[in-house]
Chains A and B, each alone.
Chain A
C-alpha cells in the first residue's frame, strides 16, 4: 500500500491541485478548516468504512431514536397519537417532558413480562430444535462427496426463493383441521377426528423451526466443512472410537458455528410476529404480537415503543453474552 493512501484526508485535500488550493488554503477561514480536518484521524480507510456506517445511521439509528423518543411520550388521541417531548408553551423556556410511565406500565402489567418470557422460551426452544435437526444435516452435507455439496447447499437455500409469507401460509394449508395432514391421516384411517394443530404453540414451533433452519445449517456447515479430517484420524489412531471422537474433537471445533447458528435463529425468532400471528392462537403470547396489537389495535404508540425498546435491550444483552461465548470458543482453538 502506498504512503499516499494513508495520509489523513485533510492533508490530501490541502495538497490537492497546487495553484488554486495553495493560495486558497492561505485564507484564514479555509486554513482553519483544513487544519481541523488534518487533525481528525480521517483517511481512505475511514471513508470506506464510513459508508455502511452512514447507511446504518440513516436507516437504523434515526428510526431507533424516533422510537426511543415516542417511548417517552404521552398517548394522545390525535394525529400523530403521541405528545411532543419538547414544549415551547411557557414563555422563555424550553421544557423537556419525559414520560417514563410507559416503562413502569410494562412492569406493572404481567402481560408484558409473560410475553417476554414466552418469547424467550419459544425462541430458545426453536433454536435448540433447529440445532438438533440442523447439526446432522450440516454434518452430512460437509462430509458428502464434494461434487454434491454445492447441490445440497443450493437445496438448503432454495426456500428463500419463495416469499416467506407464502411459505408460512402454506403451513396453514398443511396444519388445518381439514388440512392436508389431517386429511391424509383420516383417509388412511389412522385417526377419526382431526388433530388440532393450527393456532397452537406446536404450529408456531413448526413455523419457526421450518423458516429458520437454513440459518442454523449454513454457519454449521461452513465450520464443519473447514475442519481438518486428519484430526479425526489422529484421534482414532490414539485409541479413540469414532463416536467419542465426535464429542471430543468435532463438536468442540464446531462450537463457533453452533453459537453463530443459534443466535441467527434465536434473535429473529424472539421478535417474530408473522408466524405467531398466522399459526399461533391465544395461548401463544409472543412479544412481537403484543407490539403489533399495541400499535395497530390500541394505537398506543408510546407503550408499543417502550415494548420495542425493552426488547432491543434484551437482545443487546443476549448478543453481548453470545459475543463473549464466541470469543471464548475462538480463543480455545
Chain B
C-alpha cells in the first residue's frame, strides 16, 4: 500500500551492482552459546539507506544477529564491517548504531522524556537542542501528553513507542529495530511505518528491522532476509521472496501456499511436466528445471493463483484438478475456499469478491474445477 514510497526505487537496487560498496558487511558470522549454534555462518550485505527486514520463526537467531551488530555479543567466528570498519572489539557505546530492544529496556526510574533524552545527554548536546529534539520526537510518536510519566504508568504500546523514540532521537547512521511495531494497533502501526520511511528519506538512515509480521515486511522492506535455525535461507526483494522462493521453507513461511509433491515425467529445455501422483494431477511448467529426472520435487502454488469454477477447463489433462468445496471463509476483500481433492487433501484457493452479491455463488459441497496458468507453479527441489 506504500508502494509509491518504496525505498528500493530511490536506491536503484545497489545489491544488483557488483561495484556498490555495502554499508554493512556480515561475513561468515557464527555465534555459539555453548554447544548451541544460534547464528550459523551468515553472510549478508546491507546497503546504505536500505530498510532490510529480517524474517523468521521464533528462536531462529534474529535478535542474536542484531545484538552482534550492536556489539552486545561477539561473533564466535566471522567478521562484521560497518561503513568499512571492522567492528571486532569495538564496544557498543562507540558504534554508530542504535538499537531498539525487543523488551524495550526502558529506564524505569526516568520519565518518558528523560528516557528519550538519555542518548542525547551522553553526547553533551546543548540542553536547548535536547529539549527541542525530544519534544519533536515525542510529538512524532504521539506521546507528548505522557512526557512526564514513568514507564510503568504507560500501556504496552506506549512503552514500545518510547523505546522507538529513544532509539530514533539520536539519528544514528544505522538503526536496529527488534520487533518495533508489534504492540501497536493497525492505524498507529501504519503511521509509524510511514514515519520510519520518512526518516529514512530525510536522514539517510539504514534500517535493519526484525519482524514477525509478513505484511509489515512486505510493505516496509527494500529487501527481506528469511532466517531459519541460524541460517539465512534467502535474501531478496519482497516480490522475489514471494514469487520465487528458493525452497519449501521460504514458500511456506511467507504467505500461504499449496505444496504438491511430484516427479518429472517429461522435460525439455523450455518446459517440464511434473506428475503429482498422490493428488492425481499433472503440472505443466513453462520453463526448464535443473533437476535429475525422477528426483522428488515440489510444486508450490499460491491460493490466489488458482482459478475456481464449476466448468471444466478446455484441457483437463494438466494444470487442473477436481474437488469439492469443504469450507468457505469470507474475508471481506477475498473469499478463501477450502477444496477437498479426491485424494483427501485440502487445497486453499482465494478469489477476490468482485461483486457484492453474486447470483450463482459457489457454496459448500459444490463440485468444482481448480485450474492454473503454466507460469503459476513454483518448482522447488528442496
B108 beta carbon closer than 8 Å to chain A: yes
Q: How many A residues face the partner with a CB closer than 8 A?
A: 19
Mask: chain A, 221-247; 1 = CB below 8 Å from B; 0 = not: 000000010110111111111101000
Q: How many B residues face the partner with a CB closer than 8 A?
A: 25
Cross-interface CB contact of A238 among B72, B91, B119, B152, cutoff 8 Å = B119
Give every chain B residue within 8 A of A228 (Cβ-Cβ). Answer: 103, 105
A104 beta carbon closer than 8 Å to chain B: no
Give every chain A residue within 8 A of B128 (Cβ-Cβ). Answer: none
Q: Which of B131-188 contact A (CB under 8 A)?
A: 150, 152, 166-167, 170
B337 beta carbon closer than 8 Å to chain A: no
B356 beta carbon closer than 8 Å to chain A: no
B274 beta carbon closer than 8 Å to chain A: no
Give every chain B residue within 8 A of A230 (Cβ-Cβ). Answer: 101, 103, 105
Cross-interface CB contact of A231 among B105, B122, B152, cutoff 8 Å = B105
Contact flag A234-B107 (CB < 8 Å), given A239-B119, A239-B122, A240-B122: yes
Give every chain B residue within 8 A of A249 (Cβ-Cβ). Answer: 107
Q: A14 CA to B276 CA in the complex, in Å?
A: 80
Mask: chain A, 241-260; 1 = CB below 8 Å from B; 0 = not: 11010000100110000000
Main secondary structure of the interface of A (DSSP, over half): helix
Give every chain B residue within 8 A of A242 (Cβ-Cβ). Answer: 93
The smallest C-beta distance from B163 to any residue of chain A, in angstroms, reads 9
Q: A236 CA to B109 CA in the complex, in Å?
A: 17
B370 beta carbon closer than 8 Å to chain A: no
Cross-interface CB contact of A253 among B70, B91, B109, cutoff 8 Å = B109
A332 beta carbon closer than 8 Å to chain B: yes
Please tell me if the beta carbons of B150 and A238 are within 8 angstroms of each other in the complex.
no
Give every chain A residue within 8 A of B71 (Cβ-Cβ). Answer: 236-237
A163 beta carbon closer than 8 Å to chain B: no
B204 beta carbon closer than 8 Å to chain A: no
B210 beta carbon closer than 8 Å to chain A: no
24 interchain pairs, CB-CB under 8 A? A230-B105, A231-B105, A233-B70, A233-B72, A233-B105, A234-B101, A234-B105, A234-B107, A235-B118, A236-B92, A236-B93, A237-B72, A237-B99, A238-B98, A238-B118, A238-B119, A238-B122, A239-B93, A240-B118, A244-B122, A249-B107, A252-B109, A333-B109, A333-B152
State the A residues within 8 Å of B (CB).
228, 230-231, 233-242, 244, 249, 252-253, 332-333
Give the 8 A-B CB pairs with smallest separation, nearest first: A238-B119, A239-B122, A234-B105, A230-B105, A236-B92, A236-B93, A333-B108, A240-B122
A230-B103, A240-B118 known; 16 new pairs, CB 8 Å cut-off, are A231-B107, A233-B70, A233-B72, A234-B105, A236-B91, A237-B72, A237-B99, A238-B98, A238-B122, A239-B119, A239-B122, A244-B122, A249-B107, A253-B109, A333-B150, A333-B152
